[in-house]
Each structure stands twice: as C-alpha cells, then as structure tokens.
Chains A and B, each alone.
Chain A
Amino acid sequence: MESLTAILIGVLTAAAVYMMLARNIMRFMFGLILLSNAVNLTIFTAGRMTKGEPALVPYGQDAPLTDIGNALPQALVLTAIVIGFGLLAFLLALVFEAYRRLHVVDTDAMRHAEPKEDTTK
C-alpha cells in the first residue's frame, strides 16, 4: 500500500511541476493544488499505513484494548488541508482580481511591479 501511494505522490508531484512551469497563472495554480495534495499524501504515508481500530479508549479503560491506527498523521493532514484550502482560496481570489484589473493571466505580461523587459536588443 505504501509503495502504491509513493508512486501516486510521485505522479502528482511530476504533474504539478509540469503545470507550474507554465506561464499561465491559472495552470500554475492548478499545479500548486496538485502539489499541495501530494504533500498531504506524503505526510499521511510517512505516518505508516497500518490496519487498526480507531484511536478510541473504551469507557472505563485507561488505554485502548486493541491495536489502534496512528491518529497523529491524520490530525496533521487535516490541519494541512484546511490551511492549504484557505491559502489557495486566497490565491484564486487574487488571481481573479488580477485578471479583472490587469486583463492578463500570462506572467510574462505582468510587469507592473518590475521593470519592463529590455526590448531594444
């Protein structure tokens, strides 16, 4: 199972890098979303995938009775998903506003904050 998710992470990362190399800011953003999912899967896989019961302690006991699954990576991934979601939502809003105001999604054409490319050569 781990090797399968490892391959999946690799594929996702490769696709993400390919997308992020594009000049189109929308493609870049989709790449970022893919990459963020690849990273979440990395955390999940790194926490070991084992068969186990949910990490719940029965009433009246001090410790769970059977082998339990590791709850920490799930908590980490959950946090990372929520944070990533918020940041990507912000980025999407920003890109949309930039498109509305600058009328481009091509990063080469976005030179408002930086010097224009030297075209005399």
Chain B
Amino acid sequence: MSWVLVMPLVIPFITAVIAFILRNSPANRWVSVVGSVLALVAAAVLMVSVLKEGVVAAQMSNWSAPFGITLVADYLSAVMVVITAITGLATTVYALGEIPEETEKLGFYALFQTLLAGVTGAFLTGDLFNLYVWFEVMLIASFSLLVIGGGKERLDAGIKYVALNLVSTLVFLSGIGMLYGVTGTLNMADLRGAVAAAENQGLITVIAMMFMVGFGVKAAVFPLFFWLPASYHTPYFAVSAVFAGLLTKVGVYALMRMFSLVFVGDIGFTHEILLWVSLLTMFTGVIGAAAQTDFRKILSFHIISQIGYMTLGLALFTPLALMGGVFYLVHHIIVKANLFFVAGLARQYAGSTDLNRIGGLYKSAPLLAALFIIPAFSLAGFPPLSGFWAKYLIVKAALELNFWFVTFVSLFVGLLTIYSMTKIWAMAFWKPHPDGIDPTPNRAPPQVTRAMILPIAALAAMTIVIGFYPEPFVQFAETAANQLLDPTDYVTTVLGVQP
C-alpha cells in the first residue's frame, strides 16, 4: 500500500530533476505541466484509498512505527495533498504565461516542483523530525522562488522573509529536541500517548508554546505575521499565488495536527491563547488591509486575517468549529491563489498593481471582472459562494458555545473584508484609468492571456461548485474534524494494533 502515499511525493521530485536538466530548453515547462497533472492523479488515488479506509499509513523501509519514519494520511492530510496538487497545476499553467524565459533558465520550474514536494511531504509525514525536514525543503525552495528574477524590492523582501523564517524554524527545532528529551519518541501517533503519560506536564505546556510560536510564524498569526506583508507583494504573481495559497496553510495544518493529536493535555490554557491570537489576527489583518492601496498588499493582509478564522476553528475545539476550520482551509487556498492570479492578469492589462494608477478594467475586460467577483465575494463570505459556508460553520460553532464576542468579531471582520474587496473593485475595475488609456487585453500577447485566464476560470468554477453543492464537502470536513478530535484510528493505524 505504501506506493499510494509515496507517489504524491516522488512525482514532484522527479519532475523537478527533469525540469532542472532541461531548464535551457522550452520543453522544461511542459515537463512541469505533465508532472503536475501526474501529481494530481497520484493525489486523487490517495484520496480514493483514504475515503475507502479512513486512515492510510506506510512505514518507510519497513522500520516499524515508533522507530522508522511513517507516512500517514487521514482525511485532513488527503484533502490537503489534493488541494496542493490542484494549486500546483493551476500555478504551473499560469506560470507558462507569466514567467519570462530567462527566469525559466534559472530553474524556476525545478524550484517550484521542489516547493510542491516539500508542502506535500509536510502534509503526509507522521514523524515530527521528518516534518522539520519537509519544512526546510519547502523553505529553501520558497527562499529561492521569492528572490528569483532579482530586483531591489525582492532582495529586501527576501532578507526579511528568510531571516524571520529561519528564527521560527530554530524555535520549532528546539521544541522537537526538548519534546524528544521528555518523551523519547518523535512519532506523532506515539507522542500522543507519551505526552499524556509524561510526568512533568508543566514542561509539556512550555514545549507546546514553543511549537505554537514556531508554527505561528509560518502561519502568520498575530503578533508574528510581519514578515508576510513585507514580502508577499514582491515576487512573480505565480509565486505569490502559490505562497499565499499553500505556505501559510502548512503552518495552520501543523498547528491543527499538533494541537489536536499531541498537545491536548491542557486545552484550557493552550487553546485559550490560540483563541485570543486568532481574534487579534483576524482583526489586525483586516485593518492592515483597509489601509493599503496596492492590489497585492491588500490581498496579503487578507491572508493574515483569514488565517485567524482557521485557527479560530482549532481554538474553539468543538466538532463543528474544527469542521469549519478544515472547510475554511480548503476554500481559502482556492480563493486566495485565484485572487493573486487575477491581480497578475490585472497588472498585465493595466500596467500596475497600485490601485491609484490603474482603473477601467470593468469596461475593457469584463470577463476578468466577472472572474474577480467570484473569489472576492467568496472571500468576503457572500452566499452562496464557498466562503459563506466556511464562515457560517465557524460563526455557528461560536454561537453554540455562547461566545458572543467571538461571533461579533468574526462578523465584523467579514464586514471589513467586504470593504476592502469593494475598494479593489471600485478602484481597479470601475473608475476610469487615471492615465486615460484603455487597459485592453490586447496589451498582453494572446497566448499569455490564455495561459493566465485558464487557471483563474478553473479555480473560480471550483469556488462556485463548492458554494452550490456544499453537502459532500461539508460531510468530508465533518469526518476530518471527527478524526482530529478522536485520533484513535490515526494512532492505531500508525502503530499497529494497540495492546
């Protein structure tokens, strides 16, 4: 059975190697496209087998569970792997239009596939130290993708991004070291029992906080988010779309995994902190967005704000809240990547992302305007788009707990989200172009436009499908949440039958 789990990892790596060897030939971009399609197939196969069996696990090199490295996929991991493959494919197609040939020759597609491999690995691993290794694979690829193509802006952003992410990695790593010192194991399923059995629960809580800080920086929660708005608006649009869609979500995923599987001994303390952190994240993110006048900077701040909703789902820690958190995670990856895609195409047409210097897109590119509306309103939570269901679940969970303040903040932040989405709409699409030019699609070569609009349309279609037929997705999220709250299946599948 192990190939089901290994293939989604191996395919991007092989693709990366081939793309790197062929980087000087135009074939390398098609290698990347084919690799992404194959990765999507592998992810779908994994999904099918998880749907059939609940939890799938494989021991690498047949070293039995607590000793070797385990790959494991439950509902949450499986859906994250699938969504990674979808985003990867969409971004690769988008990159065909956006990435110039000289950047391609520097090995853009190889780095991109390595990034996807790192993200997939982080979702699939069942071993804490292995998770660290996948984080590093992902980080080194993201560092290079951030600064590739050069320019003063990118170097400046790159230094801040690299430096702060390295600090967070070190915090995470020392957390791993201390957890190993206390429990003597690194297997996540084994850790659940070992952490609960540990004598010094105070020390466990300290370690839990180290993990929260380490993952919190990656997930960009308050007050650790400042690297994100400093860097996400500088790289190529394809790169910032995949960063916005996937990288922060790896942090959220790791938080969800560790704080539902391992650190559940002192929920009153850890999840209370998470709750306040989430609320502040939602609020500061959206306020930051309101102050910006650049297309991508607004979207970057919105990532932070939306991350708050996901961690809020984890912090409330009821089946309904976690279900909302999982649903939010998936919905947000699709929507946010798509919005960055739209920003890229808007720049191709209108020449800038500064909202004061562009305009008139509604008149000259009505298709793009329509495609912007879908993810933008989904992000703001308009029914019947996917964001509505995500917000509905979270708010309902807060109401069930009688957390009135939480409910108020969630709804208020939703309102401010609409404000900044309408700001983009009014300034980029509605008002006439300040230079008086007509930002026609003809300003970009047709094959560029075609490659860039295809993924936008596909992701927008997915948003609509999730919005109109939420039933299967909600049910899926429910099972995923139940697996997170009661990981007995996860633990027994990884460790074999428990005595």
Contacts and interface: CB of A to CB of B under 8 A. Distances in A.
Indicate, yes or no, whether A interacts with B: yes
Given A94-B147, A113-B157, A43 B176 contact: yes
Interface string A18-54: 0010000100110010011011001101111000000
Contact of A83 (B136, B162, B167): B136
Nearest to A44: B177
Contact of B162 (A45, A90, A113): A90
A79 B234 contact: no
B295 to A, nearest CB: 15
B153 A46 contact: no
A67 interface: no
A46 B156 contact: no
A112 B147 contact: no
A72 B63 CA distance: 14
B280 interface: no
Contacts of A88: 166
A91 B173 contact: no
A15 interface: no
Contact of A43 (B154, B159, B177): B177
Interface residues of B, number: 37
B140 A94 contact: no
Nearest to A83: B136
A72 B183 CA distance: 13
Contacts of A14: none
A11 interface: no
Q: Which of B155, B158, B181 is packed against the most chain A CB atoms within 10 Å?
A: B155
Interface string A70-96: 001100100110010011101100110
A113 B153 contact: yes
Given A39-B173, A87-B136, A113-B157, A28 B163 contact: yes
B320 to A, nearest CB: 38
A83 B147 contact: no
B170 A36 contact: yes
B22 interface: no
Interface in A92-120: 94-95, 97-98, 101-102, 107, 110-114
A102 B177 contact: no
B428 to A, nearest CB: 20
Contacts of B162: 87, 90-91, 94
Contact of B156 (A20, A47, A110): A110
A107 to B, nearest CB: 8
Given A42-B177, A80-B173, A94 B167 contact: no
B167 A46 contact: no
Contacts of A107: 159-160
B180 interface: yes
A57 to B, nearest CB: 15
Interface in B231-245: 231, 233-234
Interface in B118-175: 129, 132-133, 136, 139-140, 143-144, 147, 152-160, 162-163, 166-167, 169-170, 173-174
A23 B144 CA distance: 24
11 contacts: A43-B176, A43-B180, A46-B177, A76-B129, A87-B136, A94-B143, A95-B159, A98-B159, A110-B156, A112-B152, A112-B157
The 9 residue pairs across chains A and B that have the minimum distance between CB atoms: A46-B181, A43-B177, A113-B157, A112-B156, A113-B156, A39-B174, A42-B177, A98-B155, A112-B152
Given A42-B177, A90-B144, 16 more contacts: A29-B163, A32-B166, A76-B129, A80-B132, A83-B133, A87-B169, A91-B162, A91-B163, A91-B166, A94-B158, A101-B152, A102-B155, A110-B156, A111-B156, A113-B156, A114-B156
